[in-house]
Structures are given as C-alpha cells and as structure tokens.
Structure 1
Amino acid sequence: MTVPEWLEFLTAPGTDWPGTLPANEGAVRAVEQRLGLSLPPSYRNFLLVSDGWEEMPTNAGTLRTADAIGWYPETDPEMWTAWFGPDMDFPDLESALRRCVLITTDSVQGDVWVLSADHIGANGEWRAYEWWPGDDGSLLPHDSFGSLLLSARDAWVLERAAEA
C-alpha cells in the first residue's frame, strides 16, 4: 500500500482506527540501517503515515514505533528465551522466527506480529506472520504487512457487526 492508500485507510469513515503521528524519513532510514535491510514497502509506507499504532483493536497489542522494532531475539529477549531457551525444543519455529522483525508490543492475549526477512517477494514485500505463543507454535502467514493489517481490520469489523 502506498502512503495515500494508508492515509485513506486510517481516516476512512466509521473505522475508528486512528493512527499516530508519522515517522519521518530519517527515522525510517535509521531503522533500515540498524536492520541492514530495506523495510517492506507496505510497512515502510505505513510508518510514514503512522509511526506505530497505540490502540489496535486486535489481540496483537500495539504496533511498535519505528525506533522500537527490531529482530525478534533482540527486541523481546525474555519471550525469545522462554520459547527457545536451552530446555525448549522448537527448532523449526525458532528457525522461522530468528530473522523476523518484531513489530508489535506484548499484548494481553499474547499475539505477536512479525515480518520475515527470509521471505521477501519480487515486489519487496516480506511475508508477515501472526503467532500466538500459547498454541502449538503455528504461524499464520500473510503475503505482506498490508494484507495482515487488512485481515485484522476485516476481522475487527465483523466482530463489531456481530456485537451490534
């Protein structure tokens, strides 16, 4: 999604999904330098419209600001050690998440959103995963950050409609 598409998404009537102030280009470039990779276009453009998201109506907590994202093992070492410490045996899951950028904060429900630098498409988009550490470790894949967020929004809209 482009910057104008994200602006439209975040300000669409009835969504109640306001973003936060945007990150500037310098902040986004600093993250890319720290990671050693260019961020996927849909996520990069999102940050330029909304640097994180304080109140996401999902189980994934909040979207981190540009300066708070990073490689999963380094960004949340406590959770990483809990799942992949010496007494744990989840080699496939550990391998899948090791080169993922953690983009959400801890949530009450425990859902995690990550972007996989090991799965970059021809369009520059990284595969996005939803993961709930309380289950069997299965990762729910999405083609991109944009498709992950749109999927979450659609689920949220359906939930709101059911409550009405």
Structure 2
Amino acid sequence: MTTTDGARSADEWRRYLAEYSADVLRVTDDDDLAGISDAHRLLGWLGFDGADAEHLTALEQRLCIPLPPSYRTFLTVSDGWLNLGPFMWIMRTAAEVHWLRDAEPHLWDIFGQYPELLESSLADRVLLVSREGDAQYWLLDSGDISRDGEWAAYIWASWYPGLGERHASFAALVDSERACFEALRGRSA
C-alpha cells in the first residue's frame, strides 16, 4: 500500500481498492458485512460502476467548484463505496454528494455548535462525501485547497469533539482509514 497526499490515477485507485476489498472481505466477520451483497462478495469488489464525465460535470456545476483530483478520480472508478474504513460503511454517490448544510441540515446545526468551527467558517464550506457510518462523517474542506487542487479531508465523529486529524487529501484520508482497518483487524498475508 502506498500512502499519498495527492491524486491517484484511475488505474492506481482500481488496484488500491481491489486490494483493499480483498483484505476487507478476507478478514471481516460476515456479521460485520451485512450490507454487502452476494454480487459484491463474488466479485471481490466493494465498489460500484464509476461515475461518468457527465455526472461529474453535473456535480461540479451544482457545487460551483471543481472537485479535488483524488476524490474526482475515485468517483470515476467507483461511484460510492462500501466499507471504506472500519467505521465508514457507505460513501455517497456523485448524485448524493452535497455541502454539509444542504445534505444534512440537522448535522450542520450540530456542527455549528463547536465555536472553533464557527469561527473558521468551516461549517459553511465542507462537502459531505459519506452516507452511513458509525456516528462519523467524512468531510472535504473547499476552503483549504493545496497547490495541486486537493482539499483537506477530515472525519467528524461523535466520539471526539471538533474535527479529527487533518488529511492533505481524500486519498490521504482513505490511506489513514485503511491503516486503521489493518491495525484493528490485522492483515492476513
């Protein structure tokens, strides 16, 4: 596994996600994979068909900003995902991705209760890319963009106040969660 702060090509994402899928399916108890279909198990792929250019362009037009490269390429490989981290069960599709304030207004209200987040206006500029997890949400910060177009990525969870660790990109967040998965589940050779 290669850790990266920046973009991955579609081929790199495919290889990375295929390996990650195989690891998850190999070491995770069936009870913890209840949402995984027989087709996903048979294919050994926890993803879906990728989003086409038309859907990605529509998403960027709706958001009024280009997506960060690592996240955009991820969506071309798989439009959504299952079990991307030990506590993240379903990622949003391109059609479901929205600003936090629009996607989940009740979460935005809770998010806004943290003074440090209000002062930074972070609550107004984060994109919600996750759909279902164990009281955690994956956010991309459109106000913290690197020279290569990557947005800072965070996990916001009920089990710690404020935001979690800042990641340089969506790819770096996925890498971190994969490392967490491997530490919690152990990696079988």
Report TM bin, short chain: 0.7 to 0.9
| Partner in structure 1 of residue 126 of structure 2 | 100
Check if 1:110 corresponds to 2:118.
no
Cα distance, 1:59 vs. partner? Answer: 1.3
The number of equivalent residue pairs is: 159
- Give the whole-Å Cα distance in 2 for the aligned partners of 1:83 and 1:37: 22
Check if 1:50 corresponds to 2:78.
yes
Structure 2 counterparts to residues 1-164 of structure 1, below 5 A: 1-12=8-19, 14-16=22-24, 18-84=46-112, 88=113, 90-94=114-118, 95-107=121-133, 109-161=134-186
Greater displacement, 48-57 / 113-122: 48-57
Cα distance, 1:15 vs. partner? Answer: 2.5
CA contact (8 A) 1:128 1:142 kept: yes
**Which secondary structure state, in structure 1, belongs to the residue aligned with residue 172 of structure 2?**
helix
Residue 141 of structure 2 aligns with an amino acid whose one-letter code is S
- Give the whole-Å Cα distance in 1 for the aligned partners of 2:187 and 2:75: 31
CA contact (8 A) 1:105 1:112 kept: yes
- Give the whole-Å Cα distance in 2 for the aligned partners of 1:147 and 1:132: 18
Structure of greater relative contact order (alpha carbons < 8 Å, 6+ residues apart):
2
CA-atom RMSD in angstroms: 2.1
Query: Relative to structure 1, is the Cα distance of residues 162 and 123 closer, same or farther in structure 2, using a 3 angstrom cutoff?
Result: closer
- Give the whole-Å Cα distance in 1 for the aligned partners of 2:153 and 2:102: 18
Cα distance, 1:40 vs. partner? Answer: 0.4
Which digits, 9 at most, give the CA deviation of each residue in 1:72-119, with x for residues without a partner? Answer: 1111112222343xxx4x232132232010001142x21111000000
Query: Relative to structure 1, is the Cα distance of residues 73 and 21 closer, same or farther in structure 2, using a 3 angstrom cutoff?
Result: same
Greater displacement, 18-27 / 116-125: 18-27
CA contact (8 A) 2:126 2:142 kept: yes
| Partner in structure 1 of residue 36 of structure 2 | none
Cα distance, 1:56 vs. partner? Answer: 3.0
Question: Matched residues, percent identical?
Answer: 33
- Give the whole-Å Cα distance in 1 for the aligned partners of 2:61 and 2:77: 20
Unmatched runs of 5 consecutive residues or more in structure 2: 1-7, 25-44
